[in-house]
Structure 1
Amino acid sequence: MTTAIEVQGISKQFVLRHTRSLKEAFIWLIKGRKGDLSEKFHALKDVDLMVEQGETVALLGFNGSGKSTLLKHISGVMIPDTGSVRTRGKVAGLIEVGAGFHHDLSGRDNVYLNGAILGMTEAQIDERFESIIEFAEIGQFIDTEVKFYSSGMYLRLAFSVAVHTNPEVFLVDEILAVGDEPFQKKCIAKIQELAAEGRTLVVVSHDLDLVARICERGVVLDHGEVTFDGGIHEAVAKLRGA
């Protein structure tokens, strides 16, 4: 089989600040408080992950486990401190609701902006525009500035643009929790359609029942390390402590 995603030994750490302002830091020093004003948080620790073309994979774990950070590395939003990430084919998806949108532009303008960011040409966007708007169900608001959109409207438009890029690798991070139930069902059906077409799917979600329905493989992370990689039902059981 063809490898769609290859993650080799990646690590990522962030600096956590103990103070919120220069004033607080100055008071800290004046009062003679010892110790560094910051500490390092290891979000990922030497993570390896291979995903074959057409696999449907859920990244699972509790808050702070590193699953969203790993997904951002796969998408290219983040660069690892050490290690490497390689992907094959067009990568698209929703890492954050409204990412790539400009608040002062209309929904129409943002379709073209976001579509271009995700690798579509203007001609391709023209061709798919009506389908994008129809799927998003925001026709009457398409020429309204998106700063006036609700989070649900953001989601519908962002998801619609992403799926219409026809990606080989589709990434989803918790965005289904934002939409209403009818649109969630519509998104899930579209994701299942992409999977049936042989697209590679990587999902981050706390909804274990949902990922068990749409994914075949589960990767469990804990404090930045992979603790389990196998069948989705086994992964869900491990996370639930069964």
Structure 2
Amino acid sequence: MIKTDDDIARMRVAGRLAGQVLSHLIPLVKPGVSTLALSREAERFIVEDLKARPSTKGQYGFPEAINTSINQVVCHGIPKEEDRLKEGDIVNIDVTVEKDGFIGDTSRMYSLGQVSDPARRLLEVSHQCLWRAIEVVKPGARLGDIGHAIQSHAEAKGYSVVREYCGHGIGRRMHEMPDVLHFGVPGRSLVLEPGMTFTIEPMINAGQAAVSVLKDQWTVITRDRSLSAQWEHTVLVTPSGVEVLTLREEERQS
């Protein structure tokens, strides 16, 4: 669970590369493009340009290099040729990259053209939920503080938090301990220590929190078909606070 200095150095590289994939896809996410085409370009970029491995592909049998979750899809959407993006869509792309034995995991939302006001507001609030959670990460804080930061903000804005899926420890394996719930009571659960690395990836629904899994056994949708949004970063607990290992260049400049 606690990473060595060498582990952390490698995780910084993997995290930076994962963020680069999401940035690389920005100009390609546009109406008419299939989610399969995005997956294939992400895989090409990871393998050929970054000299790394798309660790999502083949993980638990998942067939593609990225997850593409559109509108009411909460997570784990499988890229398909027939799934073509259109004006007004919101889509989450989730990518993991393995480099030198360590994995970076991150996702972001993309909006296509003029999205509706409810969609725009959901994107804003879900993004705020991620960063409110990141801001509480420091030695001595608890996992419950992270969950509470997300839950309290989302619910105050009229949204719900998906409870079936959570963040997770990460390192040599994509999923390690601990589980990082996106709801909770402050002051409860595991105490954070320097050297811990994990993801924070809240899934925020415009309607109810309940979800369903489609027949493909991967795609998770909102049961009431309301919009859903998710942002994700891999973070490191440092001696003085937190370092976002998957921070993208456009985020550094904002």
Give the TM-score normalised by structure 2. 0.29
Q: Which protein is bigger by CA-based radius of gyration?
A: 1
User: Which has more helix, going by share of residues?
Assistant: 1
